[in-house]
Amino acid sequence: MATDKVKNRLFKDIVNPVWEGFYVWGHGWPGWPERYGQFKNSTEVYAPIREIYGPVGVYYGDNGAMAGAYAAIYENPYDNRAKVTYVMSNMISEYGALALTHETTHLNDHIAYFGDYDRREGTDVEAYAQGLLQSPATQGHQGGYGALGLNMAFERENDGNQWYNTNPNKLNSREAIDRYMKGYNDTLMLLDSLEGEAVLSQGNQDLNNAWFKKVDKQLRGNSKNQYDQVRSLSDSEKAINLTSVDDLVDNNFMTNRGPGNGVYKPDDFSSAYVNVPMMSAIYGGNTSEGSPGAMSFKHNTFRLWGYYGYEKGFLGYATNKYKQEAKAASKDTLGDDFIISKISDGQFNLLEDFKKAYFKEVKDKSSHGLTTVAIDGTTISSYDGLLALFKAAVAKDAATIKTENKGNKSVSTSHTTKLKEAVYKKLLQETDSFTSSIFK
């Protein structure tokens, strides 16, 4: 994936050790010997630490059990002290492999992964690992499995029940990764379009108000940088007459599922970890004139990577690639508006315009034919065929509308999300992890 400009540095200049933790099984937690092998809770001495790791100066403590693993990172990306150390996690496990992809993102996000452009201003380290470049695993407490992600760690069966590319060994070039990301994002955009159109076709304002919520802007002090404020609809927003997916885009609405209501900051060590579930539809782009919020940052990065590829889309949006050009244009901050104009060669000035064009494109292409999938015994190969299924699923969910406290409406979306998942997984299977297009 790395650009030619930096690829050689992965082998010559950026070589980072990875240390398994010193936890010794059978001793209970912490079960972590002192520097020369003594245990806190027994008289035993652990010979490997006493004879090797302690004397040669590579011993480290248990970090108070505060992390499964952590990366030691420095401002100078060539600092040879950089490393990954495991604590609570077992390196030789699925979660351990996930942790490795997380921590090595921290080590490589200055140069190797980012084409030497560095992180985008207004973000920080945790905006890039979980929910973006970390490989999702079935194990773990972070809720990342089924959220946006790229699998670069695990081989799985192409059995129609997978969320991600099944064999990372096939993603052996930037072109192969870009092909996968195109099919991946085409599919998610198609499904979001189907869900939105199916809901709005019911002509039920109570349903709309229960189904959607708002992605708003929260400015950071006096700057143009912003956070995402995910919240319930206001009374005025509940009165909006929604007739098309474009209306959902223009109003920066998303489905009333995860991520939950709250403020998402790409520069902290809490909300920056946010995962964006694949089955949650974020219709707008929440275009910023500076740095975006954490949720929008991850969502927009994937969509732009999918449509424009790694060099143009990913590097253009997620890094400081256009920082100097923004300065030359008298911009105090590097905003989404400036970036989308650069990436699209002036075609779009707002992410919302890009999203509307992308939604139209996937609908138009799928109207001419889709990869055939069988859903509950029904064979489907077109947008209209899928739309009929989605309308039926939404109608079933609409029957669950109820009134909560303060008169707010709520609704289950279980039939629709189940259908969405089934179609996604079938398209992933039938295209062999999007090695071929979903469109005919």
Angle, in degrees to the nearest 10, between helices 383-398 and 174-200: 50
Catalytic positions, please? 103
d(CA 86, CA 63) in angstroms, rounded, equals: 10
d(CA 401, CA 439) in angstroms, rounded, equals 35
Residue located via tokens 């992600």 = 149
Q: What is the DSSP string of 74-127?
A: -SSTT-TT-EEEESSS-SSSHHHHHHHHHHHHHHHTTTTTTTT--BPTT--GGG
**Side-chain half-sphere exposure of 50, counting CA atoms within 13 A:** 7
What residues are paired with 255 via a beta bridge? 212
149 burial class (0-12, 13-18, 19+ CB within 10 angstroms)? buried
Residues with Cβ within 8 Å of residue 38, at least 6 apart in sequence: 45
Sign, CA dihedral 381-386-392-397, equals positive
Tokens of 102: 């997380």
Cβ proximity of 333 and 326 under 8 Å? yes
Look at the alpha carbons of 251, 252, 255, 259 in this order and tell me if their dihedral is positive or negative: negative
What is d(CA 246, CA 160) in angstroms, rounded to the nearest whole number?
31
